[in-house]
Amino acid sequence: MDFTTQFNAFVAQADQALDKLLLPVSTRPARLHEAMRYSLQAGGKRLRPVLLLSAAELFRGKKHDPLPAGVAIECVHTYSLIHDDLPCMDNDDLRRGRPTAHKQFDEATALLAGDALLTYAFELLAQHYSAEPGFALVRELSDAAGSRRLIGGQMEDLLAEKKADATADQLEFIHLNKTAAMIDAALVMGGLTGGANETELATLRTFGRELGLTFQIVDDILDATADSATLGKTAGKDAKADKTTFVKLHGLDGARRYAREHTESALAALTNLSGDTAFLRRLVETMLVRKH
């Protein structure tokens, strides 16, 4: 199967599982469940579930169904997007090519839909896995979503916005946590459901860190160079808010160079795995040249 067909097959599996595992909109209170589905089913790239499903396939250990874990990580990712778009944070009107949750519903509903998605992610893990690999999945996802990683990265990002002189070290902390946390967790969770050993999990983590940094640097480049229609979200926001980004610190050429370096490191990490890594190699290369 070629790369695009395989990618789309993973997306289709993830979308089907999402539809099946999310609570129906008729669940009381309907408005809340409608808002949860509205944001989740708005057609994101599904990068994190795809990473999770593809990592799960690399190993020959004891297999567990990776799909509930894929849905769980997409729930956490979507919650973070809903909250990030709120007026108290980025105050954005457009997400995944549609009005943001607080524009479509209202601020309180959007806040609660985000809260509910975060909680539901852990309910899914508890419902669909036994102690092994369930505890390890919960540990991985709670660590990645917590105050030292996703939320910590978001906090430092907000703090850096108010300072014109944010440093390269702060920028790295923000990206390693706000962006790479959900990417390395997706890969490690995939490894856990696929039966990876400790060494293999460590390799997936390193790979995820490098892929996450590449992804974010490209995101900064796209914010500076692409239009909102192509991105499905507001373009040019970083410069407008005078945000510290890779482009601001290193210029467009410097940012492109860093993105290539992290791509090389990600590819190097993959050589430590003995399974068939062709799909992940292509995914990294695609990430570097993505247009949205």
For binding to ligand GRG (CB under 6 A), which residues are involved?
A: 44-45, 47, 80-81, 83-84, 96, 150-151, 154, 178-179, 216, 219
Distance CA(177)–CA(150), nearest Å, equals 5
Residue (47 or 67) nearer to ligand GRG, CB: 47
- Kind and range of the H or E run holding 99: strand 98-99
Distance CA(7)–CA(49), nearest Å, equals 11
Nearest distance, CB of residue 80 and ligand GRG, angstroms: 4
Residue (58 or 145) nearer to ligand GRG, CB: 145
Nearest distance, CB of residue 163 and ligand GRG, angstroms: 18
Residue (170 or 272) nearer to ligand GRG, CB: 170
Nearest distance, CB of residue 290 and ligand GRG, angstroms: 9
Residue (137 or 222) nearer to ligand GRG, CB: 222
**By Cβ distance, which residue is nearest to ligand GRG?**
44
Residue (23 or 151) nearer to ligand GRG, CB: 151
56 touches 66 (CB < 8 A): yes
Nearest distance, CB of residue 231 and ligand GRG, angstroms: 9
| Those residues with Cβ within 8 angstroms of residue 69's Cβ, 6 or more apart along the chain or in another chain | 52, 124, 125, 128, 129, 137, 189, 190, 192, 193
Q: How would DSSP label each residue in 6-37? A: HHHHHHHHHHHHHHHHSPPTTSSSHHHHHHHH
Type of residue numbered 160 = A
